[in-house]
Chain A
Amino acid sequence: MIIDHPLLGPRDSAEFVYLGDACLIERPDWQDENALDAFHDYLYLRDNPAGEHRELWFHEQGDRSWLVVTRNTLTHEITKVELARDVARALGRSK
């Protein structure tokens, strides 16, 4: 596969390390009342769609950016690639 890196252009996916569902960005609050359940669902019950999937890739053999790649798991078509940091900030994550 080819991942069109938003900063570097197209790169062979072999340069990247895959992590999984992009909702791993949304780490729960440890002080929540149901923190244990929230962390369980966060870590273990991830999206696994047959179709469009937002997922985290790390450009290990490149610029060390974490990317959020929107890819169709049936066709492998990639429709969007974003810097994970931007996605995280847009989700309200900060410090």
Chain B
Amino acid sequence: MSDTALYPTPALGGYRADKDGIVVEELTRLAVVSIATPLDGDKALDAAMQKSFGTTPPAPGKVTISKDGKTRFLGMAPGQIFAVFNHDRPDAEKRLAETLSGSAYTTDQTDVWVALRVGGESVVAVLERICPLDLHPDAFPADRCARTVMEHMAAIVLRDGEDGFVLLTARSSARSFLHAVEVSVENVL
């Protein structure tokens, strides 16, 4: 057996850049776990989430937040939500599965995605170059999420405040996605 433990490598090397008030940074500690509701298991999951997190599963496109404010639940699809929280060990799924104690099927998604946070006053102007969704605050307020496509890459958009978005995108194409965001910032500012 090996004598050295494996170290994690962030997909974008912990990228952070600030250009004229637009901050783009890789969130390296974010864990993502998918929660699938068993057929006819909605009530059981509701109860388990209420008990453990003090909230209920969100409908697709909506976001709920745990009572302690530490975990966001993103409604991804009928019967599927993503739990998103800060956690930097590779056992996020195991922990969550234990918490939900058999009321859902869980799959670790942490390493499937890379999280970029884009924030700043003109963030919507930057994102409208690549994002087909209407990000006007009336149409897409804080704590709303959606899955869409930008520059040929799948992305999950989460608005975490008036001027801030977390973008989840496939880990393998993270560099291309970052490039797309960087070019948008360049082109707009």
Q: What is A's interface to B at a CB cutoff of 8 Å?
A: 7-9, 11-12, 14-15, 61-65, 83, 85
Contacts and interface: CB of A to CB of B under 8 A. Distances in A.
Contact of A61 (B59, B78, B147): B147
A16 B60 CA distance: 16
25 contacts: A7-B59, A7-B60, A8-B60, A8-B61, A9-B61, A11-B148, A12-B132, A14-B132, A14-B149, A15-B132, A15-B148, A15-B149, A61-B149, A61-B154, A62-B146, A62-B147, A63-B61, A63-B77, A63-B78, A63-B80, A63-B147, A64-B80, A65-B77, A65-B78, A83-B78
Contacts, number: 35
9 cross-chain pairs, A with B, having the tightest CB-CB distances, nearest first: A61-B149, A63-B77, A7-B60, A8-B61, A63-B60, A64-B77, A62-B147, A12-B132, A61-B148
Interface residues of B, number: 13
Given A8-B60, A61-B147, 13 more contacts: A7-B60, A8-B146, A11-B148, A15-B148, A15-B149, A61-B154, A62-B147, A63-B78, A63-B80, A63-B147, A64-B80, A83-B78, A85-B78
B76 interface: yes
